[in-house]
Amino acid sequence: MICLFGGTFDPVHVGHVHAARSVCDALGLAEIRLVLSARPGHRGETGASVADRWVMLELACAEDPRLIPDAIEVRRAQALGRPSYTVETLQEVRRAAPAEVLAWVVGSDAYREIPTWYRWQDLFELANLVVLHRPGAPLDLPDELAALTEARRVSGPPEQPAGGVLILDLPMLPVSATAIRRALAEGDPSVADLLSPAVYTYIKRYHLYGVVSDP
């Protein structure tokens, strides 16, 4: 199985690392690829550059050999001159592995929003969706997505190349990048517990997210 976990990772945090490792454990995977989105940081907030987010993702992934940082979307964005849509990324992966079981992992907050994604229905033709219950983000789905989810739902690791939806009810950490960016900008030292030590050191060294001095 090729398992991809996409995100802005602005910054990558212990919630992401825990989620990726939990998926590996639950599905018996030797690896999961963390796909960095080339999207700029969230509008109206201080975000890190793609280059910095990539270094932080590499640092966090170094904690577990099963976690593989993947620059496929960043490369596509550079080639296209615009951010790459998830559906295009999955098409590229699918072209390289036509018969492989392909899984795209999302948190429940992101899954709820999937109907806003470009060509969202095609995602289900290209991959299986693995949905993680994120604390504070119940799966209250819009009607069309709820119906599609029920129709495609599987109860164990996907076996078909694409088309299944697996909802994994594993304990997740109540951590978000938005809260971390805010805490960093305010100089809250407890934020260190929410980041890999090497990522926290990098943020301080390069004064990312409004970090002005060592706490």
Which spans of this chain sit near ligand ATP (rule: CB under 6 A)? 7-10, 15-16, 19, 42, 106-107, 109-110, 132, 134, 172-173, 175-178
Cβ atoms of 46 and 213 within 8 Å: the answer is: no
Q: Which residue, 19 or 27, is less far from ligand ATP as judged by CB?
A: 19
Residue reference for tokens 């960093």: 184
Q: Note the maximum CA span of the chain.
A: 52
Question: What letter does residue 50 receive in the DSSP assignment?
Answer: H
Q: In angstroms, give the least distance from the CB of 137 to ligand ATP.
A: 7
Q: Which residue, 22 or 213, is less far from ligand ATP as judged by CB?
A: 22
Q: Which residue, 42 or 207, is less far from ligand ATP as judged by CB?
A: 42
Q: Which residue, 46 or 201, is less far from ligand ATP as judged by CB?
A: 46
Tokens matching residue 214: 């060592």
Tokens matching residue 182: 């805010």
Q: In angstroms, give the least distance from the CB of 19 to ligand ATP.
A: 4
Q: In angstroms, give the least distance from the CB of 136 to ligand ATP.
A: 9
Q: Which residue, 39 or 76, is less far from ligand ATP as judged by CB?
A: 39
How many Cα atoms sit within 13 Å of 140 on the Cβ side?
3
β-pair type (153-154, 165-168): parallel
Q: Which residue, 98 or 136, is less far from ligand ATP as judged by CB?
A: 136
Q: Which residues contact 63 (CB under 8 A, 6 or more apart)?
A: 17, 196
Cβ atoms of 56 and 88 within 8 Å: the answer is: no
Q: In angstroms, give the least distance from the CB of 11 to ligand ATP.
A: 9
Q: In angstroms, give the least distance from the CB of 17 to ligand ATP.
A: 9
- The closest of 58, 53, 42, 127 to 89, measured between CA atoms, is 127
Residue least distant from ligand ATP (Cβ): 107
Instruction: Enumerate the H helices of 153-213 as residue ranges.
Output: 177-185, 197-205
Q: Under DSSP, is residue 123 helix (H, G, I), strand (E, B) or coil?
A: helix
Which backbone phi and psi does 134 adopt, to 5 degrees?
Answer: -100, 135
Q: In angstroms, give the least distance from the CB of 209 to ligand ATP.
A: 11
